């Protein structure tokens, strides 16, 4: 039985995050846009909502890929625009995300700053920039920023890549 779930992830440019997760088996849809959480994180930050088939790719794998494909250890000046976060949709997902984050953090040399936050609100990107990499693979931005992330997928997570 196919089980579809969703998780929202933010960290870097949503063009990059969208391209990374569109390349994976089991990802049914990636919505690119801006996510807000609660309390101190109510501002919108670039993110994606990933709809995925849990029978093909598990949440822990998605979180691990997310941590490796953005600057999850860098508390840089653009963190309001690029909040490093895993936005959960349920208490069960919150617990799983915290567990995965705590386990994967151990594999990093530097401290991982990614937060686990409740999902509150989503605003989709304008149509013109959705599917950015698929529409513009030859653009300098894609070559400089997205291609290295896709290369990391090939080298570290190849068994999860779509073959097309």
Question: For 117-136, b where at least 16 C-beta lie within 10 A, e where not — what string?
Answer: bebeebeebeeeebbbbeee
**Residue 164 predicted with pLDDT over 80:** no
Q: Provide the edge-to-edge strand list for the sheet that holds 121-124.
A: 115-118, 85-88, 4-10, 45-53, 27-36, 121-124
**Residue 37 predicted with pLDDT over 90:** yes
Query: pTM of the full predicted structure?
Result: 0.94
Q: How far apart are CA 149 and CA 164, in angstroms?
A: 17
Q: What is the pLDDT of residues 148-159, one digit of tens each?
A: 999 999 999 999
Domain ranges, residue 8: 4-160
Spell out the residues 6+ positions from residue 159 whose beta carbon is closer than 8 angstroms to its own.
none
Q: For residue 22, give the H/E element and its range.
A: helix 14-22
Spell out the residues 6+ positions from residue 33 whose beta carbon is closer than 8 angstroms to its own.
14, 46, 47, 48, 49, 122, 123, 124, 125
pLDDT of residue 78: 85
pLDDT of residue 59: 95
Catalytic residue list contains 16: no
Q: What is the CATH number of the domain that holds 53?
A: 3.30.1060.10
Task: Name the CA radius of gyration of the chain, rounded.
Answer: 15
Q: How far apart are CA 27 and CA 5, in angstroms?
A: 10
Biggest CA-to-CA distance, the chain: 44
Task: Report, as an integer, the average pLDDT of 65-87.
Answer: 92
Which is the catalytic residue, given 7, 9, 13, 67? 13
Q: What is the pLDDT of residues 87-127, one digit of tens each?
A: 999 999 999 999 999 999 999 999 999 999 999 999 999 99
Query: SS3 of 100, please?
Result: helix
Q: How far apart are CA 41 and CA 98, in angstroms?
A: 18
Domain count, the chain: 1
Closest CA to 79 of 4, 12, 157, 161: 12
Banded model confidence at residue 20, pLDDT cuts 50, 70, 90:
very high
């Amino acid at each position: 039985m196919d089980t579809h779930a969703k998780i929202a992830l933010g960290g870097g440019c949503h063009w990059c995050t969208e391209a990374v997760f569109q390349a994976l088996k089991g990802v049914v849809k990636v919505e690119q846009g801006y996510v807000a959480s609660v309390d101190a994180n109510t501002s919108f930050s670039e993110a994606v909502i990933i709809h995925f088939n849990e029978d093909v790719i598990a949440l822990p794998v998605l979180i691990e890929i997310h941590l490796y494909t953005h600057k999850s250890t860098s508390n840089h000046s653009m963190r309001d625009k690029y909040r490093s976060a895993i936005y959960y949709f349920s208490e069960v997902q919150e617990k799983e995300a915290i567990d995965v984050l705590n386990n994967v953090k151990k594999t990093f040399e530097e401290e991982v700053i990614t937060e686990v936050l409740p999902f509150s609100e989503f605003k989709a990107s304008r149509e013109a920039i959705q599917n950015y990499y698929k529409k513009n693979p030859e653009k300098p931005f894609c070559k400089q920023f997205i291609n290295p992330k896709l290369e990391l997928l090939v080298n570290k997570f190849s068994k999860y890549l779509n073959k097309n």
